[in-house]
Structure formats: structure tokens, C-alpha cells
Amino acid sequence: MTELRIYASQEGSVDAGHDSAVAPEPEPLFSTSNAAQISAELKTRGIKFQRWPSKPELEHEARQEQILEAYASLIASVKEHEHYQTVDVMRVGGDQPNTSLRQTFLQEHQHAEDEVRFFVEGCGLFSLHINDEVLQVTCEANDWIAIPAGTRHWFDMGTNPNYCVIRFFKNSGGWVASYTDDPIANFYPGLP
């Protein structure tokens, strides 16, 4: 289920000798699964969020070409209005072991360009570290999210990842992360 949870940042309470395995899980200050409320809350923080119409004609595990064709008009609109140049499809899961890939995304990082994803299948959890808050957005099929360049965040695909996303880029270099070395991600819940 698509959900937004907002927490106070635990950054100030992290000390060098603290064992994150025994840290209490923080309580959210706000939580909703209402798409309009999610969009409104994220918008006040510079994050774009939309629910796109479903494409039931797509088969499970459709190929990249089929996915891009099914969403061609929506992709064209986003490219025109947001000036994204490159679009591709990324599928994670199935028979691919992705333990190291999950660990790569679980470290807080930022990008020199926007991170824009549309979920075709499955789900994932974006955690956004903005000022003194951490916003956790669980995205599922039909969710589109645009995280501005420079936003500190991490992503959890769960212990058994199985998702497919359309990715939008402004430069052809694709996904390039700059890690913050902040252990803050250890103090918030992830996907099971």
C-alpha cells in the first residue's frame, strides 16, 4: 500500500558508540495512505508525487519495450514538462540475487540530478532526509515520484526485492550517487 510516514530526524541522537540493533524504532509524527494527502505533504518539501492510471493490458514481467509503449503518452508528457532526456526500465527481483544491490541503496546518498521513478510493478521505500525530518514514502504500482537533485535519501527494496520501475534522467550517465557517510538510515524502519 502506498504510504507516507513523517518522523523527526534522529541525526542528533546518533553517537559513535550507539548500537543501531538495539535502538528503539521511532514513532511517526504523521502517517497517511491517502494519495492526495501524500502529494500535498511532499509538495511542501519540494517532492513531486502522482498516481498514474493503471495499465492492466501489461503482462506481469513485461519487457522494456512493452512497458515504454504502454506508458508512451505519460512518459512524453513528463519528458516535455520536466526536461528529462533519457528513460529506461529497471527490473529487480525474480531469480536475481540482489543482496549487495540492496545494501548499496540503503546507505544515505544524494545525486547531482533528480531521482525520478514510476513503479510499474512491486514496491519500494524511499526515505528522504530533509532538514529535521525523515519522510518515508512506500511506493507501489502506479506511483510516480520525483526527488530533487541534492536531496539526502536512501531506498529499500526489501529482503526479497521484486519491482519494476521506469527511470527518468536528465543526463545520459544514469544513476550516480554521492554517499554522505551518515548512519541515519540505520535508525528507521525498512521494508520486510
Q: What does the pLDDT average to over 114-137?
A: 96
Which letter does DSSP use for residue 101 in this model?
H
pLDDT in tens, 50-71: 999 887 678 878 899 999 999 9
- Residue given cell 497517511 in the structure block: 32
Q: Is the pLDDT of residue 15 over 70?
A: no
Nearest residue to 154 (alpha-carbon basis) of 191, 192, 119, 99:
191
* Domains by residue range for the chain, with CATH: 3-184 (2.60.120.10)
**Cell numbers that stand for 23 in this block:** 535502538
Q: What is the model's pLDDT at position 17? A: 44
Confidence class for position 29, pLDDT limits 50, 70, 90: very high
pTM: 0.89
The residues pairing with 153 across neighbouring beta strands, listed in sequence order, are: 109, 128
pLDDT higher for 29 or 61?
Answer: 29
- DSSP, res 22: S
Residue 134: CB atoms within 10 Å: 26
Q: What is the pLDDT of residue 104?
A: 85
At residue 98 the predicted structure's pLDDT band, cuts being 50, 70 and 90, is low
